[in-house]
Structure 1
Amino acid sequence: MKTTVAIVDDHHLLAQALAGLVNRFETYKVLFCAENGHDLFKQIPEKGIPDIILLDVNMPGMNGAETAGALREQYPSVLVLALSMLDDDQTVVTMMQNGARGYLLKGSKPDELLVALNDIRDKGMYTTAFLTERLLAQLNRPASTLAPNPTHGLNDREKTFVKLACSELTYVEIADKMCVSPRTVDGYREAVFEKLGVKSRQGLVMEAIKRGLA
């Protein structure tokens, strides 16, 4: 069975070109195209819930961030891949905070789109050096500009581990900073990965940004 895709973009020619490209991928099928979030939610009841949505960021009426947030509430099983010409830190972080599982620039090559679709389908997340750099850049803002951190079931030591893991420190260096053994840090890592539902350090950084933990 093919993985179903919907494309949400107010540029009709681009949406149709993307649909044609995705339909050429062997394991994917485009259900429909929508011009913004409002149009997407009108079409879903009639045409079906897609597995993945390619979601433009800048759209009139209901933009990408608003649409991603509404999808997370109404259709949590749908996986969102943000697609945009914008590459600034704040736009990327906002999309990820609203539930996007990856961020792809519109100037990317077709094989990069296929990798992104495959990763989101198979791993639940598409990470790249570009995305990680934008998220880390956001982490380096002055502390006064950051929102208060919720606990998300983490204890104080685990929250400290998350902050350190979102830096460039190695796990051994994190152990030294926390004045514990590397084995103890391994325990923190396993507990945090389980509580946040991630499987890698890159995934942890992205999830920490989305949840306001970093």
Structure 2
Amino acid sequence: MMKKKTIVIVDDHLLFAQSLESLISKLEEYEVLAILKNGKELTQYYMHKRRVPDLILLDVKMPVMDGIQTMQWLKEHRPEQKVLALTMEDDEDTIIKMLRGGAKGYLLKDIHPENFEFAMKMVIEQGFYYSGKIESALRHAEDGQPKRNLHEKLTEREWKFLKYACTELTYKDIAGEMGLSPKTIENYREAVFKKLEVKTRVGLVIHCMRHNLIKID
């Protein structure tokens, strides 16, 4: 008998969570262990030594303890736990915070069921996935270049900008940290995006994670 992959759903919208559980229950390879309303309930789930799931499906906007706070807790207490964000939030700041927190994938809730199943499989087996809607916004080349060659594309100043760009600092904050004008930072951004063949700041963060260019704390 095939061993099923286990899922825990963390979402405060009960109707959505139950519909999601129903969808997953129809897939032969998966089973849902629990539906939890927020990150606090997830921490209690672990504290009661319940069965550790292969994957957590995590909403971002929740009361008591939201997705970003939950990722911070998991990063400290359960860093090996694979998490797939499943949310309506598609703003750049939220995506970057979830990625930096350790989320292995980011899906929007309007994803097609077949793509959803594929996403779960990819995160569990390969460790990384982004929905087509997010991926298209972050489109960048996967040319397989080694870290050294990618590094050599950037000047020392551009490399410094890259490190700051992968934090939660705004571009204005980065200008202040580097002692440069916002216009100069804008020029660095365009140069780095072009050299690394990315189109957005989120795409830049994903690119750095995939190529292990910098450490994402």
Q: Same fold judged by TM-score > 0.5?
A: yes
Per-residue deviation, residues 21-80 of structure 1 (Å, max 9, x unmatched): 112111111100100000111123253111100000000000001101211221122100
Counterpart Cα distance in 1 of 2:213 and 2:65: 23
Q: Is the 8 A contact 1:97 1:209 kept in 2?
A: no
Q: Report the number of matched residues.
A: 168
Equivalent position amino acid for 2:112 in 1? K
123, 126, 129: which is aligned to 1:123?
A: 126
Match of 1:9 in 2: 11
Match of 1:32 in 2: 34
Per-residue deviation, residues 84-109 of structure 1 (Å, max 9, x unmatched): 11111111111111110010001111
Counterpart Cα distance in 1 of 2:58 and 2:109: 11
Change (3 A) 1:127 1:166: farther
3-state SS of paired residue (1:83): strand
Worse overlay, 121-130 or 79-88: 121-130
163, 168, 188: which is aligned to 2:197?
A: 168
Q: Is the 8 A contact 1:98 1:210 kept in 2?
A: no
30, 50, 53: which is aligned to 1:47?
A: 50
Counterpart Cα distance in 2 of 1:22 and 1:50: 14
Counterpart Cα distance in 1 of 2:96 and 2:84: 13
Q: Is the 8 A contact 1:89 1:134 kept in 2?
A: no
Per-residue deviation, residues 163-198 of structure 1 (Å, max 9, x unmatched): 6797218xxxxxxxxxxxxxxxxxxxxxxxxxxxxx
78, 81, 93: which is aligned to 2:81?
A: 78
Shift of 1:128: 4.3
State TM-score, norm by structure 2: 0.66
Change (3 A) 1:43 1:75: same
Q: Is the 8 A contact 1:92 1:131 kept in 2?
A: no
23, 26, 31: which is aligned to 1:21?
A: 23
Counterpart Cα distance in 2 of 1:166 and 1:209: 14
Shift of 1:130: 3.9
Change (3 A) 1:104 1:110: same
Verify: 1:145 aligned to 2:173, yes or no: yes
3-state SS of paired residue (2:64): coil
3-state SS of paired residue (2:24): helix
